[in-house]
Structure formats: structure tokens, C-alpha cells
Homo-oligomer: A and B are copies of this chain.
Amino acid sequence: MNSGTIPQPTVERLCAIYGLLDDIIAEGSHRISSTQLGERLGESAYTIRKDFGFLPQGRFSSAGYSPEELKTAIAETLGLKEERSACIIGLGRLGQAVLAYPGFSTEGIAIRAGFDSDTNKLEILTASVPLLPSYRITDYVKEHKIELGIIAVPSKQAQTAADRLIEGGIQGIVNFSSPVAVPDTIRVRQISVLDELRILAGLIYTSERRP
């Protein structure tokens, strides 16, 4: 067994597994082994099992894990049982794509509002949640106790968006835009397709050169 703080790589992998378990359940499997999970994720079975050491001791054994029980155990450990409120800043193509993503509602994340500084856009778009002008971010986040923010604005507006979210009391940010400065109480996950493509290029290039 294991307690103490959970290492960040473990939290990341547990979340990846959590999502994967939906696929596995959809496929109809009722048992899954650490080896199989590791293969799907590109991790070793040892690592997966060590990660599971942070879950409440489940007396799993000998024929792998039950996907349903695993999901429950992970949800409990990472606090994914209660629904989290989120909002999205920037309703361009990317923001709209995220807003329209059907997965959230069933998965413990509720997108509660969308914001954009272009009021025209707010009128044209339709959504099942309120779409509001950006100057209302702080108030709205505060009033509705929104915990997570997604930033999908052009890079010059990223810092303003972050500042408004933070002033409203946001706890974490997924940022598709340029990196933003935040106090170290706020966690930021940076996402950039361009960076990822470069990382791939870099990994490929450096492993070719130095075998």
C-alpha cells in the first residue's frame, strides 16, 4: 500500500487510464491486466502497477483488474466523482470545437459558459450554455464557483484571459494559447499542436543522429 503525495506522472497516467477504461468497457472486456494497459499506453506494466499502488487497496488479483472497479478507484483517489465546473474563453474554431465536444457531460466535467470579446460572435453562435462577453469572466467565475478554465484565444489576449480567470478564483487552466504568467497556486496545462509537432521532429531527429 501507499499513501503520501501522488507523483505528478502517476496522476497523469491515471487520468490517461481513466479515459482508456471507457474504451475498454465499450469493447466489452470485463478484465484488463497491467500488461495490456501498459501496451495501450506505451508504458511498462511495472509502472502501471506501481501507479495502482496509490489507489485504495482493492484486493484486485490474479486475473487482472475490473475496468469498472478501477474507474471507481481512480475517481475516488483523484476526486473525479463530483462534477467539476469549467468554462471556455475564446469561441473561435477551436473554442467551438471544445464547446461542442459531447464527451464532457458524461465524464464529470461540466462546461458552464463560453466567453468571447467579440459580441457579434456571441449573437451568431448557439450553445446550451450561456455565451458571454469577456469582461464578465471574473464575475461569472466567482459567482458560479467555476474551478477550471480553458483558454482558446489569440496569443495576445491570453494573459488578459488568464488574469480574469485568476481574479475570479479559478483553480486550474488548460491553455491552448501562448504561455501565461500565473501565481504558483494556479496550475496550468499547456497544449500546443505546433509544439507537439516540433517535439516529434526533435525526438525523431535526435534519435536518428545518436543511436
* Chain A 183-207 interface mask (CB, 8 Å, partner B; 1/0): 0100111111111111111111111
* Chain A 59-87 interface mask (CB, 8 Å, partner B; 1/0): 00000000000000000011110001010
Which chain B residues lie closer than 8 Å to A39 at the CB level? 181
Interface residues of A in 1-56 (CB under 8 A from B): 3-6, 8, 11-12, 14-16, 18-20, 23, 39-42
B187 and A16 contact, CB distance less than 8 A: no
A79 to chain B, nearest CB (A): 3
| Residue ID in chain B nearest A210 by CB atoms | B5
| Contact-residue size bin, chain A (C-beta under 8 Å from the other chain) | 35 or more
Which chain B residues lie closer than 8 Å to A200 at the CB level? 148, 171-174, 187, 189
Which chain B residues lie closer than 8 Å to A198 at the CB level? 15, 18-19, 78, 80, 108-109
Which chain B residues lie closer than 8 Å to A107 at the CB level? 194
Which chain B residues lie closer than 8 Å to A166 at the CB level? none
| Residue ID in chain B nearest A11 by CB atoms | B202
Interface residues of A in 75-122 (CB under 8 A from B): 77-80, 84, 86, 92-94, 96-98, 100-101, 103-104, 107-109
Q: Is the interface of A mostly helix, strand, loop or mixed?
A: helix
- A155 sits at the interface (CB 8 A): yes
- A133 sits at the interface (CB 8 A): no
A18 to chain B, nearest CB (A): 6
Chain A residues engaging chain B, CB cutoff 8 angstroms: 3-6, 8, 11-12, 14-16, 18-20, 23, 39-42, 77-80, 84, 86, 92-94, 96-98, 100-101, 103-104, 107-109, 147-148, 150, 155, 171-174, 178-179, 181, 184, 187-207, 209-210
